[in-house]
């Protein structure tokens, strides 16, 4: 006897690096809310993707924690400001994953290019990796997604306008 168990529909998501994609990357660490500046066109791009049915998930290395440059509290404050801005724009983030590790202070599977943060996002939100896109400004951002089975990655120049990608025909993306 074969059981016909329905499989829950799998969703689609836009996975985003933070520094250099969402906010201005000064070339060093963003250590506090005072240094956190959302880039122009980001909120509009997120709103377009959200309206198209994509979940919005942040995937970010925060190695400055391991280096003692800032702590989990500062990262939490920055993410609260970001989430508030996203909610006000009608594009709340569905989740945030960050790795506090840095290779100078130990190894971690969660730190990009490791795929653990993306794997957790895929499992937690029941996402179809073929219907997900990763946007990052470093090769390791794309590598972490590829390692989790996400085949679509866009390498963006640091601090470039993200809005240029939001106008692509989203219906053909997943």
User: What is the share, in percent, of the chain residues with pLDDT greater than 90?
Assistant: 84
For residue 19, cis peptide bond before it (omega within 30 degrees of 0):
no
The confidence score (pLDDT) of residue 70 equals 97
Does the active-site annotation cover 17? yes
- C-alpha 62/C-alpha 101 separation (Å) is 7
Active-site option among 4, 17, 137, 141: 17
CATH tag for 22-134+146-165 (out of 3.30.930.10, 3.40.50.1000, 3.40.50.2000, 3.30.420.40): 3.40.50.1000
Q: Is 28 a catalytic residue?
A: no
Using one digit for the tens of pLDDT, what is the confidence trace for 122-134? 999 999 999 999 9
Contact indicator for 138, 17 with CB cutoff of 8 Å: yes
Average of per-residue pLDDT values in the chain: 92
22-74 pLDDT, tens digit each: 999 998 899 999 999 999 999 999 999 999 999 999 999 999 999 999 999 99
Tokens (6 digits) for 98 = 């960050």
């Amino acid at each position: 006897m074969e059981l016909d168990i329905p499989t829950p529909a799998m969703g689609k998501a836009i996975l985003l690096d933070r520094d250099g994609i969402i906010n201005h990357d000064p070339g060093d660490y963003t250590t506090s809310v005072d240094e956190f500046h959302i880039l122009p066109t980001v909120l509009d791009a997120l709103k377009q993707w959200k309206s198209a049915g994509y979940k919005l998930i942040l995937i970010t290395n925060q190695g400055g924690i391991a280096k003692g440059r800032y702590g989990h509290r500062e990262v939490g404050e920055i993410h609260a400001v970001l989430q508030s801005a996203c909610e006000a724009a009608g594009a709340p983030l569905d989740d945030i994953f960050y790795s506090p590790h840095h290779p100078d202070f130990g190894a971690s599977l969660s730190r990009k290019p490791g795929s653990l943060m993306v794997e957790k996002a895929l499992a937690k939100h029941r996402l179809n990796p073929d219907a997900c896109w990763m946007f990052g400004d470093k090769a390791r951002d794309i590598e972490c997604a590829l390692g989790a089975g996400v085949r679509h990655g866009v390498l963006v120049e640091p601090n470039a306008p993200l809005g240029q990608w939001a106008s692509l025909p989203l219906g053909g993306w997943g």
